[in-house]
Amino acid sequence: MKILVCISKVPDTTAKIAFKDNNTSYDTNGVQFIINPYDEWYALVRALEIKESQGGSVTVINVGGAENDPTIRKALAIGADDAVRVNTLASDALNTAQNIADYAKKEGFDMVFCGKETIDYNGSQVGGMIAALMDMPYISYASKMNIVESKATIERDIQGGKEVLEVEVPFVLSAAKGMAEARIPNMRGIMAARTKPLNVIEPSNTDYMTEIVGYELPPAKGECRFVDAENPEELIELLRNEAKII
């Protein structure tokens, strides 16, 4: 199986969120970046497991500038065979998807894996767009997947439950919790990653359909109001008469 895994670079989960330039851009000062957890833990690791049991290759693709290279190298250290970076700003989902789909069409992949969403822009967009652009079936929020020859059996989350389905390659999926367990790169992987190919290609698409105008931080949370543990009934009173929520 020839598998393409889309990876996004995101601020670490614990990173401080602040903005600069009059709240028009994210302040990366002092921020540590990671591979988007859903892309890494679920999509990439499951792709590697399939390659290890059935052969084939795993390519990772990222859209972004050269500052993303260390993050991409981490995916190579975990075990991807090679990497591609589309050298353009990833600020609009359709633009990003078009660039990935154009590359994927040219190279031909049996499966394209994405994470269910990124933890920075929380879009859940790129996977489905790639599928539509390549005219492939899209399976979102996959929590389990197995493949025998060309037929995959996948469990996906739908509103209010789960479904098990069968689909023939090629297809695109977005990976959610349950697909695989996180892997930590070992020393050999880290050494090997230095010499694995990381090809930089220029964008095939330069249209942007959306534009981020600015950011806002949520209003500061008021002080927590403490209720005496000896008298927890007061909490119910407050929820009814003050918060008016029950």
Partner 1 sequence: MSIIVYVSTKGGDVLKSSLEAVSYAAQTAETSNQEVVAISVGKVNSMDELGKYGANRLIQVQSSSISSFQPNLIAKAIHEIVKMEGSNLCILSHDLNGKAIAPILSVEMNAGMVTGAVGLPDNSDGFMVRKGVFSGKAFANIKILSENKIVTVMPNSIEKKEFKNTTNVEDVDIELGTPRITVIDQKIASTDVPLPEAEKVVSAGRGLKGPENWQMVEDLAKELGAATACSRPVADMDWRPHHEHVGQTGVAIRPNLYIAIGISGAIQHLAGVNQSKVIVVINTDKEAPFFKSADYGIVGDAFEVVPKLVEAVKRLNA
Calpha distance 163→157 (Å, rounded): 6
Q: In the window 20-79, what residues touch partner 1 (CB under 8 A)? A: 37-38, 41
Query: In the numeric block, which tokens belong to residue 165?
Result: 């389905």
Binding residue (CB under 8 A) for partner 1 from 65, 128, 189, 203 = 128
Stretch that binds partner 1, among 64-72, 77-85, 154-162, 191-199 (CB under 8 A): 154-162
Nearer to partner 1, 62 or 125 (CB): 125
Stretch that binds partner 1, among 54-62, 183-191, 192-200, 212-220 (CB under 8 A): 212-220
Binding residue (CB under 8 A) for partner 1 from 163, 186, 194, 206 = 163
As measured in angstroms, the least distance from the Cβ of 21 to partner 1 is 14
Stretch that binds partner 1, among 44-52, 60-68, 73-81, 86-94 (CB under 8 A): 86-94
User: Within 13 Å and on the Cβ side, how many CA atoms surround 7?
Assistant: 35
CA-CA distances (angstroms) from residue 62 to 39, 148, 201, 238?
Answer: 11, 28, 10, 49
Nearer to partner 1, 56 or 128 (CB): 128
Nearer to partner 1, 62 or 140 (CB): 140
Q: In the window 177-206, what residues touch partner 1 (CB under 8 A)? A: 177-178
Region of 244 (left: φ > 0; alpha: ψ -120 to 50; beta: rest) is: left
Q: Is 168 in the site for partner 1 (CB under 8 A)?
A: yes
Query: In the numeric block, which tokens belong to residue 246?
Result: 């029950």
Nearer to partner 1, 201 or 238 (CB): 238
Q: Find, among 61, 65, 56, the residue nearest to 75 by Cα.
A: 61
Q: Find, among 80, 82, 93, 78, the residue nearest to 8 by Cα.
A: 93
C-alpha angle 229/230/235, rounded to 5°?
60
Residue type for 70, please? Answer: P
Binding residue (CB under 8 A) for partner 1 from 87, 124, 183, 190 = 124
